[in-house]
Amino acid sequence: MTIQRIASKWEKTKVIRRKESLRTYIPDTRKYSSDHLREMLETYEMVYVKPDHGTYGNGVMCAEYWMDDFFPDSPIQLKLRYGIEYELFPTIEELHNAISLKIGQKPYLIQKGIHLLTYRRRKFDIRALVQCTPSNTWETTGFIGRVAAPQKVITNYHGGGNVLPIEDLLGPHLTAREFAALYKEMKLVGVQVAAQLARKFPNLKEIGLDIAIDDQLQIWILEVNTLPALFPFKMLQNKDIYKKIRRYAIAYGRLKAKTAK
Ligand SMILES: Nc1ncnc2c1ncn2[C@@H]1O[C@H](COP(=O)(O)OP(=O)(O)O)[C@@H](O)[C@H]1O
Ligand SMILES: [Mg+2]
């Protein structure tokens, strides 16, 4: 039996949105269009535009209102950021034209932008790994923090980001008690998302959740990956975490057990 993978972010968002208790964790997400760009910029002031079938942060852009601090009387503009580059536009229409040129005919999504917490002035988010246990329940088995490269709007490792334990990243923002509560909530959200997706996709065995934490310490699910990388968890100091991840992955057939020599 092959492990279920789902490429479309839109499909996954639709399924997890059906679960009432998960809705508060999902930033407003729609198919990209000029109307949605206008409406969402007016509502949220910052939005992310990303390919429905994207990976590694490729094609991810961020658009927001922008004011020139040196010339406060100059008109508000719109800033489109991608990679380490940016462009400014006087109107939403022109911003839309520039985005359209970049995305061509490919399906893209637009999502409410979350103001990520920062670590040494770099944005970070959290990858949670949720796996099917050998006794066929769901368990959030690991967390890893991902720090964006300077000036980048994405935290992906393949986009130049680096990984650090979540304790190091969240430590400066939270008390021990707040950390414990957030940790518990993230574990629970992970299990609930997996269980909800598995209702529609019964052969699902593992997911990777991209979790953003904003300055109000609210948890947001940016996306759900169905082919999550396992290797980042190897670097955690607590070696028991990766041992368990490996053991579970062998049990459901993602990894092969080492044969005795
Ligand atoms: N709505 C958002 N608000 C803030 N940051 C976002 C948002 N969506 C994506 N990002 C940033 O971009 C990265 C890549 O986006 P993601 O949706 O995970 O696509 P990919 O499949 O390419 O990893 C995220 O890990 C996060 O750092
Ligand atoms: Mg991602």
Last residue of a domain, one of 112, 128, 160: 112
* Pair (191, 70) in one structural domain: no
- The pLDDT assigned to 72 comes to 86
Give CA separation, 211 vs 9, 191, 208, 233, 239, in Å: 14, 13, 9, 16, 23
167 and 210 in a common domain = yes
Ligand 1 atom closest to Cα of residue 111? 1
- Give residue-wise pLDDT tens across range 39-94: 999 999 999 999 999 999 999 999 999 998 888 889 999 999 999 999 999 999 99
Whether residues 69 and 90 share a domain: the answer is yes
And the tokens for 3? Answer: 């492990």
Q: Is residue 16 part of a domain?
A: no
Residues 133 and 228 in one domain: yes
In this prediction, residue 39 carries a pLDDT of: 98
Q: Is residue 232 part of a domain?
A: yes
For residue 5, being part of any structural domain is answered with no
**Closest residue (by CA) to atom 2 of ligand 1?**
113
Taking 90 as the threshold, does the pLDDT of residue 258 lie above it?
A: no
Distance CA 94, CA 97 (A): 5
Report the separation in Å between the CA atom of 127 and the middle of ligand 2, taken as the mean of its atom positions: 8
**Strand residue runs (E) in 84-227:** 85-89, 108-112, 118-119, 122-132, 138-147, 162-164, 206-213, 219-225
| Cα 113 to middle of ligand 1, angstroms | 9
Same domain, 170 and 247: yes
Task: Dump pLDDT digits (tens) for 150-184.
Answer: 999 999 999 999 999 999 999 999 999 999 999 99
Measured in Å, residue 11 CA sits from the centre of ligand 2 at 15
Question: Given a cut of 80, is residue 1 above it in pLDDT?
Answer: no
Q: Could you list the residue range(s) of the whole structural domain that residue 136 is in?
A: 116-251
What is the total count of domains within the chain?
2
- Quickly list H helices, the chain: 9-17, 34-44, 92-103, 166-170, 176-200, 239-251
Pocket-testing residue among 6, 36, 47, 50, ligand 1, by greatest number of atoms within 8 A of Cβ = 50
* Alpha carbon of 46 to ligand 1 centroid (Å): 13
Q: What is the pLDDT of residue 210?
A: 98
Contact at 8 Å (CB) between 87 and 64?
no
Percentage of residues of the chain with pLDDT beyond 70: 99
Helix, strand, coil distribution of the chain in percent, nearest 5: 35, 30, 35
Task: Give the end-to-end CA distance of the chain in Å, rounded to a whole number.
Answer: 28
Atom number of ligand 1 nearest to Cα 123: 27
Query: Whose Cα sits closest to atom 17 in ligand 1?
Result: 223
In this structure, what CATH number is given to the domain that contains residue 220? Answer: 3.30.470.20
Strand, coil or helix: 232: helix
Q: Which residues contact 39 (CB under 8 A, 6 or more apart)?
A: none
Note whether residue 72 is domain-resident. Answer: yes
- Residue of the nearest CA to atom 22 in ligand 1? 57
| Residue nearest atom 19 of ligand 1, based on CA coordinates | 57
Residues 101 and 127 in one domain: no
**96 and 120 inside one domain:** no
Identify the DSSP state of 260: P
Which positions ≥6 away from 55 have C-beta within 8 Å?
225
Q: Ligand 1 pocket by C-beta < 6 Å: which residues? A: 27, 48, 50, 54-58, 60, 111-114, 116, 125, 154-156, 210, 212, 222-223
